[in-house]
Amino acid sequence: MSKVGIFYASAGGNTKLIADALKEAFEVEEDDCILMEDDFDSVEQFEDYDVLFLGTSTWGQGDVHFSWVDALFEISSQKISFEGKTIAFFGAGDAKTHGEHFCSALGKFYQTFSKTGAKIVGFVDKEGYTYEASLAEMGDKLCGLAIDNINEPTKTAERIENWIEQLKNEL
Ligand SMILES: Cc1cc2nc3c(=O)[nH]c(=O)nc-3n(C[C@H](O)[C@H](O)[C@H](O)COP(=O)(O)O)c2cc1C
């Protein structure tokens, strides 16, 4: 049986909406839901899991939440292996005010974790989103679940629900 861990950052609770839905759908224990700012100490914490759901909202100019910065740097610089693990990315952004970097933090996740040997799942059709540019865009897909709970709050629940169904098939 695969062990699932959720590692996420959410300043205002939007990314947390996805984390909470994943927790419920995949029956993830509270101890296996890691809020980066409070509960994360070391990249060794990733070792406990076969499946990792990794979340962050996007900040600055398409950056990950600050609580992810050291972990991503360590994974890249130390070439840490995630071989045998399956990973999916999720996060919130703002396609109107920050449409030139919409949920680009998910693209930053991809840049890091795609080099670790992990299998990455949970790509979403970009159709249905309106933004200028995003590092998360890969062909006709986004490399994870992006939500815009500021401008499109009525789409959030369905986006999360559909993604969870997709993940259940992909895992
Ligand atoms: C200073 C600032 C910079 C931001 N930069 C981006 C950005 O580059 N791309 C984006 O999609 N959203 C950006 N946002 C919007 C946040 O990602 C958005 O408010 C999101 O819903 C926050 O999610 P959270 O509540 O999970 O932290 C920015 C917001 C602020 C206040």
pLDDT digits (tens, 9 = 90+) for 119-145: 999 999 999 999 999 999 999 999 999
Q: How confident is the model at residue 150 (pLDDT cuts 50, 70, 90)?
A: very high
90 φ, ψ to 5°? Answer: -150, 155
Residue with CA closest to ligand 1 atom 17: 93
Out of 3.40.50.2000, 3.40.50.360, 3.40.50.1000, 2.70.98.40, the CATH code matching 4-170 is 3.40.50.360
Neighbours of 166 (CB within 10 A): 16
User: Rounded CA gap, 53 and 81, in Å?
Assistant: 16
CA of 6 to the centre of ligand 1 (A): 20
Ligand 1 pocket, 62 CB below 6 A?
yes
Residue 93 CA to ligand 1 center (angstroms) comes to 5
Q: What is the pLDDT of residue 129?
A: 98
Please report, rounded to a whole number, the percentage of residues in the chain having pLDDT higher than 70.
Answer: 99
Given pLDDT bands bounded at 50, 70 and 90, which one contains residue 88? very high
**Is there a contact between 22 and 6 (Cβ–Cβ < 8 Å)?**
yes
pLDDT at 147 over 90: yes
CA 83 – ligand 1 centroid, Å: 31
Q: What is the pLDDT of residue 25?
A: 98
Q: What is the pLDDT of residue 133?
A: 98
Q: In the predicted model, what is the mean pLDDT of the chain?
A: 97
How far apart, in Å, are the Cα atoms of 121 and each of 52, 106, 125, 132, 168? 10, 12, 13, 24, 11
Q: How many CA atoms within 13 Å lie on the side-chain side of 163?
A: 28
Contact (CB, 8 A) for 68 and 9: yes
Tell me the domain boundaries of the chain: 4-170
Q: Is the pLDDT of residue 14 over 80?
A: yes
Nearest protein CA to atom 6 of ligand 1, as residue: 59
**41-73 residue pLDDT tens:** 999 999 999 999 999 999 999 999 999 999 999
Q: Ligand 1 pocket, 10 CB below 6 A?
A: yes
Does 1 have pLDDT greater than 90?
A: no
Ramachandran assignment for 24, one of left (phi > 0), alpha (psi -120 to 50 degrees), beta (any other): alpha
